[in-house]
Structures are given as structure tokens and as C-alpha cells.
């Protein structure tokens, strides 16, 4: 089973170029990035493989990027439902460009964040 601790290790080891620190904040993992933005990682305590990865940027438009599989019926028309990706805002929801597997999806999400940071959004 995937844990917040295992995702924390991945963030700190594989993404040390963008990750400042990680810590538990109640039932989630908070990842502080070197650009002063943060990622919150949620793993359901009741349902295995239910997750959300949420990044709030510190750019002038305060973009929000979130990949999750919580079954919000608002996005049920997507072929990947319940998997969906909030691309820049809460309302701009598209098919996720990440794997459905929690660990692989997390790694790909972190790579996405790295790419956005490196091109300054």
C-alpha cells in the first residue's frame, strides 16, 4: 500500500532540485518547493488508491493544478472518470496526462511541476 511517507521519500530524493522540505500536516503531506509554492498530497484513509495531488503556484495568476480521482460527478463526462486534471484553475478540467497508478502518477505530476517551474510557468 502506498503511504504519504513513501511519496515524501520520492519527492525528497528524486526531486531534490525543486523540493525544499516535506512534512505531515494532519492527514496530508505538504511539499514545500524551492520557489515558495507548495504541493499537498492526499491519500484516502478509507479507500485504497484514492488520491489527490494539488499544486498552488506563486505566479501572479495563482494557478492551481490538481490531479485526483475523487469521483466528482461534475467531471463524469470525461472518459477517464473519476481521474481528472485541473489544469491551471479549478474549472479548467481535462483528461489527465498522468498514469492512474498512484506512485507513477505522483512521479509524473512532480515531473510536470518541475517542468513548469523551470520554464517559469
Q: Per-residue pLDDT tens for 5-55?
A: 999 999 999 999 999 999 999 899 999 999 999 999 999 988 888 999 999
- What are the C-alpha distances in Å from 101 to residues 2, 56, 74, 91, 120? 10, 22, 22, 24, 28
pTM above 0.85, yes or no: yes
Domain around 113: 4-118
Structural domains counted in the chain: 1
pLDDT above 60 (res 121):
no
| Residue 74 CB neighbours (<10 A) | 10
Amino acid at each position: 500500500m502506498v503511504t504519504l511517507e513513501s511519496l515524501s521519500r520520492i519527492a525528497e530524493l528524486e526531486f531534490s532540485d525543486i523540493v525544499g522540505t516535506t512534512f505531515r500536516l494532519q492527514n496530508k503531506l505538504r511539499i514545500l518547493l524551492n520557489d515558495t509554492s507548495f504541493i499537498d498530497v492526499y491519500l484516502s484513509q478509507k479507500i485504497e488508491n484514492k488520491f489527490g495531488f494539488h499544486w498552488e503556484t506563486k505566479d501572479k495568476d495563482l494557478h492551481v493544478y490538481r490531479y485526483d480521482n475523487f469521483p466528482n460527478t461534475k467531471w463524469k463526462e470525461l472518459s477517464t472518470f473519476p481521474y481528472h486534471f485541473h489544469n491551471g484553475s479549478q474549472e479548467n478540467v481535462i483528461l489527465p496526462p498522468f498514469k492512474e497508478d498512484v506512485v507513477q502518477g505522483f512521479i509524473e505530476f512532480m515531473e510536470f511541476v518541475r517542468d513548469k517551474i523551470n520554464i517559469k510557468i
